[in-house]
Amino acid sequence: MTHAGSIRTLPLIALVVLMTFTSLVATPAWSQTSSADTQQGTPSGAGMQAGAAVSTILYFPFKAAFAIGGGIVGGLAYLFSGLNEQTAKSIWVPSLYGTYVITPEHLTGDRSVRFLGVATDDTATGSSSTPAMEPAR
């Protein structure tokens, strides 16, 4: 591998390390304050947390790439539509919002995984400019 090739792979390696660290540290922290308290401290609970971490590692890159692409396309749509904010929002809301981290509640079916974000009622009517993200527990 040439020196230039190793420089190009360095950001990818850093991203994988960051995603792994985040999913292994953040997922157990979120699950401690959730409805899965009954399984906490049990082998089953540990297995669900490990499964959620592995699922996040596999799922997050696709969601992040979709969000980045949607952000770029939404920005271009905003510019080419004559600065029409509704046109941009119709792209930004589904692509930028939704589930980014898989938790044990997602694996048990207690919460749904939303790859596409959903606007709140206020956003749909245009009275608010911030769509609702999935609530953290």
| Domain extents in the chain | 3-125
pLDDT, one tens digit for every residue, the chain (137 residues): 555 555 566 666 666 655 665 555 555 545 455 545 556 678 888 889 999 999 999 999 999 999 999 999 999 999 999 999 999 999 999 999 999 999 999 999 899 999 998 877 655 545 444 445 555 55
Q: Which two tokens stand for residue 10?
A: 């360095």
Reduced to 3 states (helix: H, G, I; strand: E, B; else coil), residue 42 is coil
pLDDT at 17: 58
Copy the structure tokens of residue 15: 């991203």
Comparing C-alpha atoms, which of 80, 95, 103, 82 is closest to residue 131? 95
Question: Residue 78: how many CA atoms within 13 Å on its side-chain side?
Answer: 13
